[in-house]
Structure 1
């Protein structure tokens, strides 16, 4: 659909979502739905974009260990970045010919 508006999260929306979370929990940023990875957040920056709208940016750090590795599968599933993965069905074991 051309010209459809994309709904964006506001700081108030983020605060509401975070208010249900454990205040001592660590914060991670999930990135790249095609290769889901977890990153440490380091900064929160408020700025004005090119349209004059105030925007808050959540930024990862610059250290080499900022990227923490793959997202846990259950997180990628809840984000709808991947489907639930199930083990393939088991095939009956083949029995070697006995002589």
Structure 2
């Protein structure tokens, strides 16, 4: 089963509702979600002759910001919501 690909028009429509001054980051790797800085937009042609636009991360060492915020991973359905375990009463030192 093939999934419809997002087009540049779809991306522009989605971005039109966002803060225009906000930085753009790329979420990568659903099993170990990380955030990356976007540096380039490159248009090319794939093997079938169709135009494709690529969003690329930068080459600098600070391109990767670290772990994706948990709420973003949940919103992307990469992780399920996690609740903190219930708190237990703390044990007291007996002094023995």
**Same fold by TM-score greater than 0.5:** yes
**1:34 and 2:31 matched:** yes
SS class of match (2:62): helix
RMSD: 1.7
> Quick one: which of 55, 60, 64 aligns to 2:61?
64
The number of equivalent residue pairs is: 96
Query: For residues 57 and 91 of structure 2, what CA distance do their matches in structure 1 show?
Result: 51
Q: 2:12 and 2:92 mapped to 1: Cα distance?
A: 60
- Written as runs of structure 1 = structure 2, the 5 A alignment for 1:81-92 is 81-92=78-89
C-alpha distance 42-91 of structure 1, shift in aligned 2 (>3 A) = same
Q: Distance in 2 between matches of 1:8 and 1:66?
A: 26
**Alignment map for 1:1-99 (pairs within 5 Å):** 4-94=1-91
Q: Post-superposition shift, 1:28? A: 0.2
Ranges in structure 2 where 5+ consecutive residues have no aligned partner: none
Q: What are the ranges of 5 or more consecutive residues in structure 1 without an aligned counterpart? A: none
